[in-house]
Chains A and B, each alone.
Chain A
Amino acid sequence: MKLRLTAALSAVALCTTLAAPVAPVDAAGDTIVFGSPVSLTGSLTKEGHLTQEGYEVWKDYVNSHGGIKVGAKSYKVDIKYYDDESKNDTSAQLAERLIDQDHVNFLLGPYGSGTSFTVAGIAERKKIPMVEGNGAAERIFNQGFKYTFGVLSPAKRYLEGILDMAHSQKPAAQTVAITAASDAFSQEVAQGAAAWANAHGMKVVYNNKYPDTATDVSSLVSALKATNPDVILNAGHLQDALLVQKALRDQNVTAKAYGYSVGPDTPDFASTLGKDANDVFGGAQWSESVKYNGQPGFYRTAGEYARVIDQRYHHHADYHNAESTAACLAFQYALQRAGSLDPEKVRDALAKLDVTTFYGILKFDSRGLNVYKPMVVNQIQDSKLVTVWPKFTANAKPVYPTPPWGQRK
């Protein structure tokens, strides 16, 4: 219905006009220009802005530290953004415009799996390397694309950590209920969680999806409640996490652990839900407490990085920030190794990349997917986000089993 209305209105024409360039950039000379269609408006606005912050922090670091040395010459960097309005097709059109009209050297990914998927197709056709830090659906990497690299741990692994944690506590969680939004990313997250549970002797007692435009999930939650699960998982985005958590509270559904693929990491989750956000687990690509020691060329630890984000943007460093910065870092180290701006050579250097950064390992399998980095599990304890799993990187013990509603702090 929506699509038809939009088409009837020639919305595409309107959107393109609205997404007009902000300022022209110098695409030649001593500057390497990156292009990124990113969700500055639309349903993924919040995440889109976090992505942009991650890119900007990197750009400023590089430019204030003498640029990137490629071969014998040092280059400044610039990033050209267009607003894709969180729409997959618009994102692809803008990527094409960045390459054809703005002549950017390389692409940095948009926010989200849907947009990354369409943009990856353009990168492939134009043979321009793209590194993306915000599209975790494996579908992007199963197309045989050669020019797209993703720094994220794949979608399937998002909720594994929470199950692993709950399964190894006392009393061990035995049953799990999964709800998932219908988009590609959420579906893969849910499949991964169900597969992990089955492989480790846990029983999936409920597994269902709902449209990603849902405005009410009470009935889904009623059905889930009837199965009385130990662990309740939701594969979705921030809006889903809020909707599901509110519905669980409304219907007084109790479980040993509540886990979300996206949500608890974003400060909005706790600020919207208040005390009802406490003790919730979230799978995360990164947290401020991960203990990696990065190579020189950028802030080397998660702590340093978090301080910079806090100073500049006045909020806690979110994993969306970190993974976006990591995408830039992949380019930085690959460019240094390639010693050339030639797209082919940079692509080959990306394929061979193996570096450790504040964000973790950047290394890609033959599909361009970073399968080498583990996810972490965060929990909101007393309104603060702490990392509780895996143990080697944790800065707090998990609160488990979760206390009843109304007694969480």
Chain B
Amino acid sequence: MHLLVQDLVNGILAGGILAVVAVGFSLVWGIMNIINLAHGAFIMLGAYTTYQLTKSFGLDPFLTLPISFVVLFVLGYLIQRLLINRVARAPILITFLFTFGLSLLLVNIALLIWTGDTRGVTTWYSGSNFTILDVTVPWIKLYTLAAALLITALLQVWLTRSRTGRAIQATSMDIGAAQLTGVRVREIYAIVFGLGAGLAGIAGTLISMSYAMTPNMGDPFLIKGFVVCVLGGLGSVQGALIGGIAYGIIEAFATQFNGTIFGQQISGSGLQDAIALIVLLVILIVRPTGIAGRATA
């Protein structure tokens, strides 16, 4: 019994990070209809930003969160303004190829700057933990979850209350109508892409504390982010949060599944990816818009 509770806790803790990974990806996809394959590379850059700041200036990694956000926001904004705007209305395959190429470029630049060495961010509180009712909770992961919840909440408030946030929503609902009411779509797109990149940067900072970094570290997160955002529902902040935590919990429980099917020993842990994808498939059949997604016209 206590193992199940521990798994639930592990799943929620891991899911918080996945939610932040997915939320930026989901916004860009949902609002701009661009599947940004460079999202993993943005995450990686966020992680290295934190690494560099903690190493050079001794900053606490959590204090680097806003810096990672700003650095990646500016990068994303410029990339959208200068490059993607030229292909934004092109068929999806073009933006696909474009972001894939961008990802290769960024990874290779990181390789030149930081080499392929594996690195990590270690703080004085790394590894410290507390136990309640036999369930162990590492502090750093709890802080990470708290940061993830705070950031998604702020984002949600900003999107629904601020003028720019509402313009973003309007653009995603009906681009023509938004333009008629004076929304500058190009500007909105640049902000959204910057926001997506900035959120990836935040995810990278949070990941850097629990996962070792190399220039290729973004790949598995890109794939998980993809699944989470389909699971939760495209373009929605709550969707990413629910999807991320659901994914984390599914993976955690899958780990404990061990059984024999047709005489074959099955390790749920070895198949956790497959199990998560099966759940995704079921969700897509039952609720094609994702758990929190709304049907669009």
Is the beta-carbon distance between A11 and B100 smaller than 8 angstroms?
A: yes
Q: Which of B250-291 contact A (CB under 8 A)?
A: 251-253, 255-256, 258, 267, 269-273, 277
- The closest CB in chain B to the CB of A42 belongs to B216
Residues of A within 8 A of B126 (CB): 246, 249, 274, 276
For the A-B complex with A218-B13, A223-B255, A269-B118 known, give 10 more contacts whose Cβ atoms are closer than 8 Å.
A1-B223, A41-B111, A222-B3, A222-B6, A223-B256, A238-B118, A249-B126, A250-B210, A251-B136, A268-B117
Is the beta-carbon distance between B119 and A272 smaller than 8 angstroms?
A: yes
Residues of B within 8 A of A238 (CB): 118, 212
- The closest CB in chain A to the CB of B140 belongs to A250
Q: Which of A67-75, A207-215, A300-308, A346-354 contacts B (4 or more CB under 8 A)?
A: A207-215
**Residue B104 is within 8 A (CB to CB) of chain A in the complex:** yes
Q: Name B96's contact: one of A8, A18, A208, A222 (CB within 8 Å).
A: A8
Residues of A within 8 A of B207 (CB): 215
**Residue B182 is within 8 A (CB to CB) of chain A in the complex:** no
Given A213-B220, A223-B255, residue A405 in contact with residue B127 (CB < 8 A): yes
**Residue A88 is within 8 A (CB to CB) of chain B in the complex:** no
Is the beta-carbon distance between B119 and A271 smaller than 8 angstroms?
A: yes
Residues of A within 8 A of B136 (CB): 222, 250-252
**Residue B169 is within 8 A (CB to CB) of chain A in the complex:** no
Residues of chain B at the chain A interface (Cβ within 8 Å)? 3, 6-7, 10-11, 13-14, 37, 93, 96-97, 100-101, 104, 107-108, 111, 115-120, 122, 126-127, 129, 131, 136, 138, 140-141, 207, 210-212, 214-216, 219-221, 223-224, 226-227, 248, 251-253, 255-256, 258, 267, 269-273, 277
Is the beta-carbon distance between B10 and A41 smaller than 8 angstroms?
A: no
Is the beta-carbon distance between A219 and B255 smaller than 8 angstroms?
A: yes
Q: Name B216's contact: one of A45, A210, A222, A226 (CB within 8 Å).
A: A45
Is the beta-carbon distance between A9 and B100 smaller than 8 angstroms?
A: yes
Is the beta-carbon distance between A222 and B111 smaller than 8 angstroms?
A: no
Is the beta-carbon distance between A213 and B223 smaller than 8 angstroms?
A: yes
Between-chain CB contacts (< 8 Å), 17 pairs: A1-B227, A2-B219, A43-B214, A45-B115, A210-B269, A211-B273, A213-B220, A215-B207, A216-B211, A222-B6, A223-B255, A243-B211, A250-B210, A266-B118, A268-B117, A273-B120, A405-B127
* Nearest CB in chain B: distance from A90 CB, A: 13
- The closest CB in chain B to the CB of A43 belongs to B216
Is the beta-carbon distance between B221 and A215 smaller than 8 angstroms?
A: yes
> CA A242 – CA B11 in complex, angstroms?
19
**Residue A76 is within 8 A (CB to CB) of chain B in the complex:** no
Is the beta-carbon distance between B215 and A242 smaller than 8 angstroms?
A: no
- The closest CB in chain B to the CB of A46 belongs to B116
Is the beta-carbon distance between B212 and A239 smaller than 8 angstroms?
A: yes
Residues of A within 8 A of B129 (CB): 250-252
**Residue A5 is within 8 A (CB to CB) of chain B in the complex:** yes
> CA A1 – CA B215 in complex, angstroms?
21
- The closest CB in chain B to the CB of A10 belongs to B97
Residues of B within 8 A of A139 (CB): none
- The closest CB in chain A to the CB of B121 belongs to A272
Is the beta-carbon distance between B3 and A45 smaller than 8 angstroms?
A: no
Is the beta-carbon distance between A219 and B108 smaller than 8 angstroms?
A: no
Residues of A within 8 A of B120 (CB): 242, 272-273
Q: Name A246's contact: one of B210, B223, B255 (CB within 8 Å).
A: B210
Given A182-B270, A223-B255, A223-B256, residue A249 in contact with residue B127 (CB < 8 A): yes
Is the beta-carbon distance between A46 and B214 smaller than 8 angstroms?
A: yes
**Residue A199 is within 8 A (CB to CB) of chain B in the complex:** no
Q: Which of A172-221 contact B (CB under 8 A)?
A: 182, 208-211, 213-216, 218-220
Given A252-B136, A272-B122, residue A220 in contact with residue B255 (CB < 8 A): yes
**Residue A48 is within 8 A (CB to CB) of chain B in the complex:** yes
Digitize A225-257: 1 where CB-to-B-CB distance is under 8 Å, 0 elsewhere: 010000000000011001100100111100000
Given A242-B212, A273-B122, residue A209 in contact with residue B255 (CB < 8 A): no
Residues of B within 8 A of A43 (CB): 214, 216, 219
* Nearest CB in chain B: distance from A178 CB, A: 12
* Nearest CB in chain B: distance from A341 CB, A: 34
> CA A389 – CA B13 in complex, angstroms?
39
* Nearest CB in chain A: distance from B76 CB, A: 21
Is the beta-carbon distance between B127 and A208 smaller than 8 angstroms?
A: no
Is the beta-carbon distance between A219 and B251 smaller than 8 angstroms?
A: yes
Given A182-B270, A208-B270, A219-B7, residue A49 in contact with residue B127 (CB < 8 A): no
Residues of A within 8 A of B219 (CB): 2, 43, 213
